[in-house]
Chain A
Amino acid sequence: MVFSSVEFLFYYLPIVMLLYYITPHKLKNFALFISGTVFYAWGEPKYVFVMLLSAAIDYTAGILMSGTEKASKRRMCLIVSVVMNLCLLFVFKYASFAVEVVNTVFGISLSDPSIPLPIGISFFTFQSMSYTIDLYLGKISVQRNPINFLAYVTCFPQIVAGPIVKYQDIADRLERRHVTLDMLSNGASLFAYGLAKKVLLANNIGLVWERIKTSDYSALSAPAAWLGIIAFAFQIYFDFSGYSDMAIGLGKMLGFEFPKNFDLPYLSKSISEFWRRWHITLGSWFRDYVYIPMGGSRNGRRKTVINLIVVWILTGLWHGASINFVLWGLWFGVLIIIEKLWLGKILEKLPDVISWAYTMLAVILGWVLFDTSSVHSAIAYIGAMLGYGDGTVRAMSGLLPQSAIVLALCMFFSSGAAGNYVSKLSGRSRNTVMALKPIITAALLIASTSYLVNSTYNPFLYFNF
């Protein structure tokens, strides 16, 4: 199930919330486990067992680890848990890619296993690994209650698309939590904002990218190519951050405080800063569980560079099993290394607008790699951006005039201007903000609903049997 669907918003959500609130405290985690399993099984009727298997492995590893003082045994438990999770991830996500790479390198033709990717596997494996790793490091104490652990893994708000909530982030709340009026109301608002971001902004601006992405790149005019990739930059931001907002909002309604996942990334003035503002929970996962355990930046310049390269290749790969994603990760890795070595100091001294322009250019070129189908087409696309296309697909024909307003709204909301205005207003006239809150929720819900319903509307010109 996805949040932006009729079945989730109008059936699953009110029913689950009602049942959750009337469930006695002791059974709330059980309710969470059941509702999360239903949520996941809706989209993955078979692979729900993969998710439960991953949870069972980590729970058992945790119990065994806590039952012994011996360092070697504890390490064994950790290794089993991590290896098992990575195996699941490898089999379901990377097997096809690995076969392709092996075939290319050795010139053989192993057959593609073509295993479908279970929804959210990159998220739930990472989440549950955070538990065994932190337990091994002694940062958290063991979870003996299997229901509590399952509630953490299957918690429906974040299971399919993050934020990647580390076990330590919500360990306390898993034991006892309360939903205050404030949390419920803020959760509802945050969900409505997230839904509107996804349905009204991301999907709409996404139509522009879809049209340009599917056209012949050699026919694109330079403005059309730029418009297309900027549209994608907004699409992925509003899509992903909207989904995170919905997840965090739902978390609040259930009594959780999930970590922030996006912090106006398109205001960044360096790539390092961009990655502190974009998909924050993923960056911090890789920092805590890969970069720092490898030694981070403590072992001299050469080792730091190697560590960064490894982390960024892995970050790229995490986003998808293809060479484009690897290069995309590497692109950021290299820029971050250069920034760490010398560019960062220069960027700080330059006027803001120049360091911002550099960052956006780097991010946008990155998006080309990210969302074109191959390295070859990425190069062709960048060629079109530089004006090598023959210009038969023009931005002005209908694309820009018909999407100028959405584009302006995207710029406005990704610049944080709306948030600034609200906080200024709440300082001056708190009551206005208070009065507006339910009205905005209602307006966003109604507008988003019309788009959700429209997406299922399917009239036939001729009667179909």
Chain B
Amino acid sequence: MKKLSDILNIIVFFGFTAVIAIVSFCIPKQSFSETENRYLAEAPKLSVRGYFSGNTAKQISEYLDDSFPMRTNWISLHTSLELLQGRKEVNGVYILEDRMLGLAHQVDYKNIEPSLDAVKKLCSITDAQVYMLAAPTAAHIYSDKMYAFGPCLDQKQFVDYIYDYLDGDLTAIYVFDELKSNRDDYIYYRTDHHWTQRGAYIAYTVAAKSMGHVPVGQERFNIRHASHSFLGSLHSKTMYNQIEADTIDFYISNAHFVTLDCHNTDNSRQDSLYSQEYLSVKDKYLCYTGENSAIKSLYSTADGGRLLVIKDSYANCFVQFLAEHYSWIDMIDLRYMTDPSDYIDLDNYDSVLIIYNAVNLSEDNNLRKLSLLG
């Protein structure tokens, strides 16, 4: 019995380690990981210089890590083991019974000041009316359900700070209360870090009023349930499969016809506000105006002025509503450009809207690029 047990034990140990090594050499190599949204490490070229700098060893490690067999299944197992020991925070995601929340770390408010000063400068050099909408993320809206491990960003306090800082320079749009009172109305995805188009619509009703428009009612839109199987970025981070998949809705206007002008990185052109082709990929949120890119333009049959939207991806399912009021909307994403003046001329716009979620606003330094304008 002892001998048998020892033999089994040895087989388990060496079998397990060796089989993984063999399998990883045999399975075909992927170059892109859809769940991780990045290119995987490639086998490094060996060189003496690479060896002495320590890079070769590092690259081999990364290559072996990235080509580990059944990677996502291991991540799932890891998440289950974390939950089993009472952990709620896994890989930066807080897991509740019915949804996941992306956690945001506390930041030093001082770091955001150069960005805000760039916004101030923008306001001072343009005649256009400037608006700002800092949206909360789900982590704020459901914060009462969370017992976080460490200090989290207090989004309300942070946005109050920003709005105070910019007081007098621009018109601040405050959507926190409206979103919070509708929080049972499926305004944030359960498995993704974005708001749903329903959430964006609620924020729009507040924004439209601030921007001097009468918000159009929801009956203006045909709501199409495009997909019921969206597993978003929070799912990618944890590979946790116990949360119901999300629904992607398309709010299609009855009144106006809107076209999109967007050049993708592969130079393909996209002209639809809702791109069906992304329904078949992992990140279905891309249906909303497509991939992130430096500049996208919306042309609407609505009768209205020209609007510049300086934005992160929260705007992608939000601008559709603004197209009810503006005939031409340019959206720029500062993360994908070095100098905004390469893309736009401030004199062309009647209004400017800066729309970000509070977490991006706290972590992203790209707003500083606005100081290059004018």
Contact = CB atoms under 8 A, between A and B. Distances in A.
A402 B6 contact: no
Interface string A1-42: 000011101110111011000000000000000000000001
A199 to B, nearest CB: 10
A438 B237 contact: no
A406 interface: yes
A435 B86 CA distance: 29
Nearest to A44: B54
A387 B20 CA distance: 51
A191 B13 contact: yes
Interface stretch (A130-138, A348-356, A445-453): A445-453
B61 A441 contact: no
Contact of B88 (A6, A13, A188, A402): A402
B147 interface: yes
B21 to A, nearest CB: 5
A442 B5 CA distance: 13
Interface in B147-175: 147-151
B64 A6 contact: yes
B178 interface: no
A6 B16 contact: no
Given A454-B75, A457-B75, A462-B313, A182 B193 contact: no
A398 B74 contact: no
Interface string B18-52: 10110010000000000111100000000000011
Contacts of B86: 401-405
B292 interface: yes
B38 A459 contact: yes
A457 B149 contact: no
Given A10-B17, A184-B6, A438-B8, A460 B87 contact: no
Main secondary structure of the interface of B (DSSP, over half): helix
A393 B9 CA distance: 46
Interface in B62-78: 62, 64-66, 68, 71, 74-75, 77-78
A441 B149 contact: no
A46 B51 CA distance: 9
A185 interface: yes
A429 to B, nearest CB: 11
Interface size class of A (residues with CB under 8 A): 35 or more
B3 A181 contact: yes
A299 interface: no
A441 B8 CA distance: 10
Interface string A401-416: 1111110010000000
A447 B16 CA distance: 12
A453 B36 contact: no
A5 B61 contact: yes
B211 to A, nearest CB: 27
Contacts, number: 170
Given A46-B52, A404-B86, A454-B78, A398 B16 contact: no
Most buried by A among B8, B14, B61, B150: B150
A211 B16 contact: no
A176 interface: no
Contact of A188 (B10, B64, B77): B10
B236 interface: yes
Contacts of B9: 185, 188-189, 437-438, 441
Nearest to B87: A402
Interface string A123-156: 0000000000000000000000000000000000
Contacts of B64: 6-7, 10-11
Contacts of A15: 21
A47 to B, nearest CB: 10
Contacts of A441: 9, 12-13
Contact of B37 (A191, A451, A461): A461
B13 A457 contact: no
A442 B10 contact: no
Nearest to B61: A7
Interface of B: 1-14, 16-18, 20-21, 24, 35-38, 51-54, 57, 60-62, 64-66, 68, 71, 74-75, 77-78, 81, 85-89, 91, 146-151, 193, 233, 236-237, 291-292, 313, 335
Interface of A: 5-7, 9-11, 13-15, 17-18, 42-43, 45-46, 181-182, 184-185, 188-189, 191-192, 204, 207, 211, 215, 393, 397-399, 401-406, 409, 430-431, 434-435, 437-438, 441-442, 445-447, 449-451, 453-454, 456-464
